[in-house]
Amino acid sequence: MPELSQKIFHANSDFEFSSVACDCEVDVTHPSKGVTKYTFRLYPKSDIIYYAYIAGRGLVSKNKDGAFDGRAVLPDLLAIKDGDAKAVEAFIEQHGFFLPLDANEDNAIDAESLFCLIDRLKAMVALMSALGEPKTRYKQILALTLYLLLSPTVTIQLPNFESPFLTCIHDVWQVWNGVYPINENILRSEDVGYNVDEGYRVVDSVRPPETWLTTNEYSDAVGYESIDLSGVKASATYLFRNAVTAQPPCRLAVDFLYHFCKEVGDIKAWNHKGDLTFVSAPPTAAQFRDTFDEQLQSALITLAKNTLKTEIEYNLNGVVPSYDTETMAPSWRVEYLLAGLYFSVFYMRPKIELYRICANPNCRLPFLVKTTSSKQKYCQPACANAMAQRNHRRKMKALQATNEPDPIS
For 110-145, what is each residue's pLDDT tens digit?
Answer: 999 999 999 999 999 999 989 988 889 999 999 999
User: What's the mean pLDDT in 247-259?
Assistant: 96
Output the CA–CA distances (angstroms, integers) from residue 310 to 77, 167, 169, 402, in the order listed: 21, 11, 9, 58
Question: What tens digit of pLDDT does each residue of 321-330 get?
Answer: 877 787 777 7
| Rounded Cα gap, residues 135 and 303, in angstroms | 18
Alpha helices, H only, 151-273: 171-176, 215-222, 232-242, 248-263
Output the CA–CA distances (angstroms, integers) from residue 32 to 29, 35, 36, 37, 114, in the order listed: 9, 5, 8, 9, 21
pLDDT surpassing 80 at residue 252: yes
| Rounded Cα gap, residues 51 and 344, in angstroms | 11
Average pLDDT, the chain: 85
Task: For the chain, give percent helix, strand, coil, nearest 5.
Answer: 40, 25, 35
Per the DSSP assignment, residues forming a β-bridge with 68 are 62
Sign of CA dihedral 121, 124, 125, 130: positive
pLDDT surpassing 70 at residue 312: yes
| Rounded Cα gap, residues 144 and 300, in angstroms | 11
Output the CA–CA distances (angstroms, integers) from residue 405 to 250, 387, 393, 395, 397, in the order listed: 68, 30, 20, 18, 15
| Rounded Cα gap, residues 213 and 202, in angstroms | 7
| Rounded Cα gap, residues 97 and 60, in angstroms | 16
| pLDDT > 90 in the chain, percent | 47
- CB contact at 8 A, 254 and 172: yes
Question: What tens digit of pLDDT does each residue of 12-52 get?
Answer: 556 777 888 899 999 999 989 888 899 999 999 988 888 88
In the structure, what pLDDT confidence band is assigned to residue 66 with cuts at 50, 70 and 90?
Answer: low
| Rounded Cα gap, residues 126 and 148, in angstroms | 11
pLDDT surpassing 70 at residue 151: yes
Per the DSSP assignment, residues forming a β-bridge with 192 are 195
pLDDT surpassing 70 at residue 6: no
Question: What tens digit of pLDDT does each residue of 193-216 get?
Answer: 545 578 888 999 999 999 999 989
- CB contact at 8 A, 117 and 265: no
| Rounded Cα gap, residues 18 and 6, in angstroms | 5
Helix (H) / strand (E) element for 200: namely strand 195-203
In the chain, what is the straight-line distance between the N-terminal and C-terminal CA atoms, in Å?
82
17 three-state secondary structure: strand
β-pairing, 329-334 vs 319-324, is antiparallel
Higher pLDDT, 48 or 11: 48
| One-letter amino acid for residue 269 of the chain | A
pLDDT surpassing 60 at residue 360: yes
* CB-side neighbour CA atoms (13 Å) of 342: 28
What pLDDT sits at residue 351?
62
Question: What tens digit of pLDDT does each residue of 335-345 get?
Answer: 788 988 998 88
In the structure, what pLDDT confidence band is assigned to residue 334 with cuts at 50, 70 and 90?
Answer: confident
- CB contact at 8 A, 26 and 32: no
Q: Name the residue among 388, 396, 394, 354 with its Cα closest to residue 371.
A: 354
Alpha helices, H only, 267-358: 285-291, 294-315, 337-346
- CB contact at 8 A, 334 and 319: yes
pTM higher than the cut 0.75: yes
Domain regions of the chain by residue span: 6-168+310-357, 172-306
